[in-house]
Chains A and B, each alone.
Chain A
């Protein structure tokens, strides 16, 4: 009881939180477009400039900030995503068309379920999504109750970068509205989950009934009060690098 009160996953800065992410890592990044995007953690990672990263996100960046700025900085070898388009997709599009970045395109629900499976210790599953399409080419299929399904494999990562609304020192998390999206799944599927939270509170201050991500899935938490919002940065024409 006493021990759990003192458990503390907080780190002092975004830079310290991402300090162990090195070249070649696979990094899941929460967010759907700008909602739930951990901008401060991404920008701290850009300051470190690890190379040859594989990045997992629904999208592939927007404008010249966040994931788009990671791509601009030449840090990303491969994107695993469902929708590499945005209001300003130049960062990804230019490198993709130049053959400088690899794309693994995954249907959105399959992407979510692959991450969920990765976090749940389920190596593969069958889904109706994509059957008979080019995104199922080369994948095993199976018939269940007279219908054909395609086998998809789990997706895991070395790191997850996550934006939460409130965290406690144990890493229990609450998200803000639709900013939740992929984040609870990614927290489970990464070896090291790094969270920026608008507020960090003491254990016991989050009602256990309200916890969305239990702290067992979280390794580091940094408080970033008043976090930047991708959509507002884009409208302001901000470029991070």
Chain B
């Protein structure tokens, strides 16, 4: 393998979602942000089943129903029709966000425009144009015991998304605990990026060149190995 950025030299979104799913324990209470993070639910290892929370007021929802079977009072935060699993519960929005801010969720998984080495997250707005919309992102980053971010390692134009300080408007300050990118798994420890895993096809130097702040190495850096999914 070389470090060249060929087609297989980074993980697909589905592969990033698969990698995150390996870190979600059985029976954990988890909120998956709308869009890309929702894919994580598909890749739970056999025998493991998390309880998924959606901000609009359901615990323990499942897959989408078959087309034509939708109940439009039974949707997730992304407004997609879902189904219920045994043991599901409905609740109003204040209870839903008590679960979020009150420290009752084990894990929240969100997307990002930028993550800073101090754990700041920017994921809701890139500038002053258009219609701003925030939803529950600012709530979700506070309260969950772990806040995971899933993201491409760099933007479409090659700019680092892991940065020394966010330049886009913040969603939350010092809130991210771990970042899963298309190239690496990085923890945020004491306001520093600590590299835990990287693709074996890329060198540490190459990875650092695509990262906007120092990647610290503490002990072993494991190979990030993900099956084709």
Are A and B physically bound partners?
A: yes
* A interface residue numbers (CB < 8 A to B): 32-36, 82-87, 89, 92-93, 96-97, 103, 105-113, 115-116, 127-135, 175-185, 212, 229-232
- The docked-state distance in angstroms from the alpha carbon of A109 to that of B140 is 9
**Contact across chains for A176 and B73 when beta carbons are under 8 A apart:** yes
**Contact across chains for B172 and A108 when beta carbons are under 8 A apart:** no
Shortest A164–chain B CB gap in Å is: 11
Residues of B45-92 at the interface with A, using a CB-CB cut-off of 8 Å, are 54-58, 70-75, 79, 90-92
**Chain B residue at smallest Cβ distance from A113:** B94
- The docked-state distance in angstroms from the alpha carbon of A130 to that of B93 is 18
**Contact across chains for A129 and B138 when beta carbons are under 8 A apart:** yes
**Contact across chains for B73 and A133 when beta carbons are under 8 A apart:** no
Across chains A and B, the number of contacting residue pairs, with CB separation under 8 Å, is 141
For B92, what are the chain A residues with a Cβ–Cβ distance below 8 Å? 112, 180-185, 212
- Contact among A89, A108, A134, A178 for B58, CB-based, below 8 A: A178
- The docked-state distance in angstroms from the alpha carbon of A180 to that of B56 is 8
- List, sorted by A's number, 30 A–B pairs whose CB atoms are closer than 8 Å: A33-B79, A34-B72, A34-B75, A82-B136, A84-B132, A86-B79, A105-B132, A105-B133, A107-B138, A109-B55, A109-B93, A109-B96, A109-B100, A112-B92, A112-B93, A112-B97, A129-B101, A129-B142, A133-B173, A135-B134, A135-B138, A177-B73, A178-B75, A180-B90, A181-B56, A184-B92, A185-B92, A185-B93, A212-B92, A229-B72
For A133, what are the chain B residues with a Cβ–Cβ distance below 8 Å? 138, 169-173
**Contact across chains for A108 and B142 when beta carbons are under 8 A apart:** no
- Contact among A93, A109, A115, A116 for B136, CB-based, below 8 A: A109
For B91, what are the chain A residues with a Cβ–Cβ distance below 8 Å? 180
- Contact among A84, A105, A128, A212 for B101, CB-based, below 8 A: A128
Interface residues on B, range: 35 or more
- Judged by a CB distance under 8 angstroms, whether B135 is at the interface is yes
Shortest A145–chain B CB gap in Å is: 13
**Contact across chains for A177 and B74 when beta carbons are under 8 A apart:** yes
- The docked-state distance in angstroms from the alpha carbon of A181 to that of B97 is 11
Given contacts A107-B139, A178-B90, A180-B91, contact A112 B172 (CB under 8 A): no
- The docked-state distance in angstroms from the alpha carbon of A106 to that of B172 is 14
Extra pairs beyond A133-B138, A181-B92, A212-B92 (11, CB < 8 Å): A33-B75, A107-B134, A108-B135, A109-B97, A109-B138, A128-B101, A132-B172, A133-B173, A178-B57, A178-B90, A185-B93
For B58, what are the chain A residues with a Cβ–Cβ distance below 8 Å? 177-178
Shortest A71–chain B CB gap in Å is: 12
For A135, what are the chain B residues with a Cβ–Cβ distance below 8 Å? 134, 138
